[in-house]
């Protein structure tokens, strides 16, 4: 199973929004808003990402990917000395207060911007533990699936232009998954601990796969250790050290994430949602869900749909 992909897609509360922006002359924008994670790909030209999101200005080239965990509070510019204006990450690109072309001037940079609405009520530690901004240079992804997704995105944009066809949101999903995979793999190679190592630890990874595959199963520390092929004591210690929480606390976390997704995306009765995540009654499920999210399941569903105007 794809542990990272399942986590990323379970945190997503709506389809990603994609925007294509041609940038002219000297420009700089500080992305604002509270809409989720931001994904940017340089399709033509160059750009810079500036402090405080990074320790020092970093130049971006064609094919480079930037993932901003919170979707706000970071600055992109044509040059470190460019004037900076605030831009709402959710505003239409033609309303961004950036320089317009003059006398048929060609764009210096073409930027693909994606915005992900992620569940902020109880973020998964795989996402919450990331740096505020990740930069993956194109040269670091040569031969990797991430580069293939970037190339496909470029081809779709070249074909469809500013309208951005139906394939782009699906490719943005893949872009987010492969960005997270690539970053965590790179961190593991550098000897990082935490989730970077957990994803490569055979016993913990197998347990994560089993939990994701069958959240309703009556998991115990012992049964998860058996799934991972190690002793109960070793498994419990390693799981807590690398993921930051005990195995059964993580089981509850995953069950609540799946429950939240079912409440958002389906009309299943609370009893059916409870059964799918391992609770014998809607009452027991409701108590657990309210502890995790602060709202009862029904109130959570209503608030989400009211927000979307459903």
Which position has the token pair 């399942």? 6
pLDDT tens digits along 105-161: 877 899 988 888 888 778 899 998 898 899 999 876 656 788 888 888 888 877 776
Q: Which residues of the chain have pLDDT under 70?
A: 1, 33-35, 71-72, 140-143, 161-164, 308-310
pLDDT at residue 141, as a whole number: 61
Q: DSSP assignment of 129-162, as one string? A: TS-SEEEE-GGGGTTSHHHHHHHHHHHHHHHHGG
Does pTM surpass 0.75? yes
Strand partners, 113: 19, 40
Q: Quote the CA–CA distance of 75 and 189 in Å, as a whole number.
A: 29
Q: Where are the domains of the chain?
A: 3-189, 201-308
Beta strands in the chain (DSSP E): 17-23, 28-32, 37-44, 47-50, 58-60, 65-68, 74-77, 85-88, 109-116, 133-136
pLDDT at residue 310, as a whole number: 57
Tell me whether strands 28-32 and 133-136 are parallel, antiparallel or unpaired: unpaired
Report residue 265 as tokens.
């995306």
pLDDT at residue 96, as a whole number: 87
Strand partners, 23: 109
To the nearest 10 degrees (0 to 180), the angle between helices 3-11 and 202-213 is 50
Q: Quote the CA–CA distance of 174 and 39 in Å, as a whole number.
A: 11
Listed in sequence order, the residues at least 6 apart from 173 whose beta carbon sits closer than 8 Å to its beta carbon are 8, 9, 12, 16
> Does domain 3-189 sit in CATH 3.40.50.2000?
no
Question: Sign of torsion, CA 225 229 230 231?
Answer: positive
The domain defined by 201-308 folds into Arc Repressor Mutant, subunit A (1.10.10)
pLDDT at residue 309, as a whole number: 62
């Amino acid at each position: 199973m794809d542990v990272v992909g399942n986590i990323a897609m379970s945190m997503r509360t709506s389809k990603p929004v994609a925007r294509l922006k041609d940038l002219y002359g000297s420009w700089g924008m500080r992305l604002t808003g509270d809409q989720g994670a931001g994904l940017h790909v340089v399709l033509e030209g160059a750009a810079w990402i500036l402090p405080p999101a990074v320790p020092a200005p970093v130049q971006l080239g064609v094919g480079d990917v930037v993932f901003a965990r919170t979707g706000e509070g970071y600055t992109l510019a044509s040059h470190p000395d460019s004037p900076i204006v605030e831009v709402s990450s959710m505003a239409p690109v033609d309303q961004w207060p950036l320089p317009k072309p003059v006398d048929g001037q060609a764009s210096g940079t073409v930027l693909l911007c994606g915005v992900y609405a992620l569940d902020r009520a109880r973020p998964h530690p795989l996402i919450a533990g990331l740096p505020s901004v990740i930069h993956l240079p194109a040269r670091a992804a040569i031969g990797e699936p991430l580069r293939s997704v970037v190339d496909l995105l470029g081809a779709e944009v070249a074909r469809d232009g500013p309208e951005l066809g139906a394939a782009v949101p699906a490719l943005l999903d893949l872009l987010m998954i492969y960005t997270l995979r690539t970053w965590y793999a790179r961190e593991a190679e550098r000897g990082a601990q935490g989730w970077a190592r957990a994803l490569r630890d055979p016993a913990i990874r197998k347990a994560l796969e089993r939990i994701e595959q069958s959240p309703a199963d009556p998991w115990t520390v012992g049964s998860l250790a058996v799934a991972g092929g190690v002793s109960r004591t070793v498994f419990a210690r390693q799981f807590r050290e690398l993921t930051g929480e005990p195995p059964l606390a993580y089981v509850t976390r995953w069950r609540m994430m799946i429950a939240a997704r079912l409440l958002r995306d389906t009309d299943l009765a609370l009893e059916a949602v409870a059964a799918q995540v391992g609770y014998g009654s809607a009452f027991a499920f409701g108590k657990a869900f309210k502890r995790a999210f602060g709202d009862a399941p029904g109130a959570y569903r209503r608030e989400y749909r009211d927000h979307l105007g459903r």
